[in-house]
Structure 1
């Protein structure tokens, strides 16, 4: 039996272009899919800097892409995902993709993001013409590729020809690709697609909603998030569509690349460590981290860390508001790396100035420092208001830092709370992020730190947690088969 052919369609892929977890997943899942027998390739825009350091690349041809009445041409650059044998096709169009960032500039979202989205989708459909490889399944990732299922469904085919199947993965439902209704004209889709059962959402063009309505199968990045998005409070306005497609919606927990996130072989750490050397290794990493962050080295106090974008979703604003009282009632230190909302940046900077011996804040992002925070801290904070999956808590556990997190999304699926799972605990889950819950969690963390045996027990549980991509890859392989079955039953599907 031949391998299923799958084309990943994404605006980003680590390490070629990345803003967050989406790129990490698109970079890590394909090699795992190859290992379970899936013939997988990736198509992604050629963003500024994507080719830096790549030795192997070639021009595979010229794409023809129609956006409204405009015919665009883009070069197709073929390369390999670094460190793997996964083929990546990059869409080279300087007008649309040669920019300092992927989604937004200094003045906010790029005004032509709708056009850029359809360029990605149309390029993916034109790809087989150039390379002689036809996907059985197109796997679209998030809103910028979400119009792809509809574009596939709209293609006129000879009678009896089975269309390619489509899978849409929702990495974060908050980001939907919402535009003025006039933007629908650039799609070249039938006018009937702009309706309540398709792309129309309160009078606007909503790309993610269109993808949900048209895809053969839909996945989210954790089982709990798949349940949450079907509720009115966590659906970000798409409750009806997600409930309607519930039978085709699957939650698959993200894994992590255990080779890329290996504290025993991480060159960013001053003292790499394994499970056998974790106690001495983390002690040395903490000592070095304290020096790097200009925090007094206080081995008798727990050091808590956070690596996060500073946006409302992540809940760190609640922590900033409660931190003075938390420090008054509990003795600990905090190291935070992040950027985002200027008001949150200012709040944490003020706290660092107010408590220089207890709080360190580094505005920005630094991959090496992030890894040293995972390795050098005792606990890792993720008070997210919602969290589709969360990768940072998995990285932290891999490096022996116990997560303290809100009970939402993938945090519930990855963290075993001490109270509920005393024999396999690897972290602490909060019922909410109100001040009282934060106080309880910080007090519990301080108590765990004071009990060395309990700390070591939980730390080892965290480091031994199975977090590879093998099981998720097998689950996605099943989803592809289900999607192909649905496409053969509904060869001319317009929408669900």
Structure 2
């Protein structure tokens, strides 16, 4: 292709682009390849006969045990396997998930393939858009607030209670659930746990936003009918309701049987909504579990006591996939909720964390630098002819833009150099 610079690295994402590293090898492309696994459960497995139609050589469709380059997977052609086997580097969207998928519990049958390629596997957590998701400037919520002044969160809570048909009670603990309503997200267990939680905690409320498996949608709608004023369910998703959910709730219940990274917990913490989540994948990587002393010694200085529970904690993590596990975990959070000092410390910690893309970007730059010469490419030196009037009109603004561009370029060069 003309006027297109040859890339140093091609980065393919998930099974949809899994054949890219394979095609690059077949074509003798010099560029290196990175393949990112966003969710190993979705593998793009198709009939082997499709291989001939899409240009995969027959010797790469033989049983996997006979050729380590094969993309055959239990009698199917696997696009996910093609990416894993033929990419120069493989990464996932959290460090813990990168370790988990090497095991039979999380490997979805692909653990053997990954174990064979473990030397090129790593994990880099996702980030969020901290401009769009910022309670201090969010125009989609009832009232803005910040880590230094959270008063506006009460107005957001009133709005959320009204929107979901819940009793207007500023002191009621309000738990948000915002996710796909699927077994992966533990929605089946949560649906069974809610009656116990509602009976045990008379003022507890739930605002549920999501969609997924029809049977689980129905089960939650039936709970809302059985517990009017305390359970509100809205099937579907839209951006504004998601913002209001995170801004108005006190807690986020985020169960999951496996979680490559997760973004919901990051949005929640950004808005001072404390996550109660499964100890898996990116949830465990991004949430610091609250572990208070069983019996803190009041004679200890406050800063010493805080180191045991409140100083760094941003949420609550739990193990297991049973009803009792969910009930116990939310019980821990509710016990902290009735201690204002502890709860406010959790909110401050969560809202102070930086979940933007800067750290992730630096990690990707470091990954790329390991693969190729980290020296930046020379900038374009060819002089392009520009109409006189356009040059004159753009002189002042163009100078400022050029200065900003140079700053950005130099910052990128410095980051690459540090990453090398």
Q: Same fold by TM (over 0.5)?
A: yes
**The 10-residue stretch of structure 1 (446-455 or 475-484) with the greater mean CA deviation from structure 2:** 475-484
Deviation for aligned residue 1:232? 1.3
Task: Give unmatched runs, 5+ long, in structure 2.
Answer: 293-307, 374-420
Q: Would you say the 8 A contact 1:256–1:394 is kept in 2?
A: yes
Give a deviation string over 1:252-287, Cα, whole Å, max 9, x none: 111212112111111111101111221x11111001
- How far does residue 186 in structure 1 lie from its aligned partner after superposition? 2.2
**Match in the other structure for 1:429:** 317
Match of 1:142 among 14, 17, 20: 14
Q: Which residue of 2 aligns with 1:328?
A: 199
1:23-422 alignment, distance < 5 Å: 129-156=1-28, 163-195=30-62, 196=64, 197=68, 198-278=70-150, 280-331=151-202, 332-419=204-291, 422=309
Q: 1:411 is paired with a residue of what secondary structure?
A: helix
State yes or no: 1:471 paired with 2:354: no
TM-score calculated relative to the size of structure 1: 0.69
The structure-2 alpha-carbon separation of the partners of 1:215 and 1:156, relative to structure 1 and needing over 3 Å to count, comes to: closer
Query: Per the alignment, in what secondary structure is the counterpart of residue 49 of structure 2?
Result: helix
SS of structure 1 residue aligned to 2:27 = coil
Secondary structure of 2:335's counterpart equals: helix
Distance 1:164 1:189 in 2: 20
CA radius of gyration, larger in: 2
Alpha-carbon shift at residue 156 of structure 1 (Å): 4.2
The alpha-carbon distance between structure 1 residues 217 and 440, as it changes in their structure 2 partners (threshold 3 A), is same
Q: Partners of 2:210 and 2:272 in 1: how far apart?
A: 20
Tell me the residue number matched to 1:453.
Answer: 341
Does the aligned pair in 1 maintain the 2:13–2:35 contact within 8 Å?
yes
CA displacement 1:343-383 (0-9 Å, x = unmatched)? 00000000000001110000001110011010000000111
Report if the CA contact (8 A) 1:380-1:404 is conserved.
yes
- CA gap 1:345/1:131 in 2 versus in 1, 3 angstroms: farther
Unmatched tracts of structure 1, length 5 or more: 1-128, 158-162, 486-496
Distance 1:458 1:156 in 2: 53
Q: Is the 8 A contact 1:154 1:190 kept in 2?
A: no
1:367-416 per-position Cα deviation (integer Å, ceiling 9, x unaligned): 10011010000000111010001111000000110000011001110111
The aligned length equals: 351
Higher strand proportion: 1
Deviation at 1:189, TM superposition (A): 2.6
Q: Over aligned residues, Cα RMSD in angstroms?
A: 1.3
CA distance in structure 1 between the aligned counterparts of 2:253 and 2:80, rounded to whole angstroms:
30
Provide the C-alpha distance between the structure 2 equivalents of 1:440 and 1:329, rounded to a whole number of angstroms: 11
Taking the aligned partners of 2:351 and 2:193, their CA distance within structure 1 comes to 30
SS, match of residue 134 in structure 2: coil
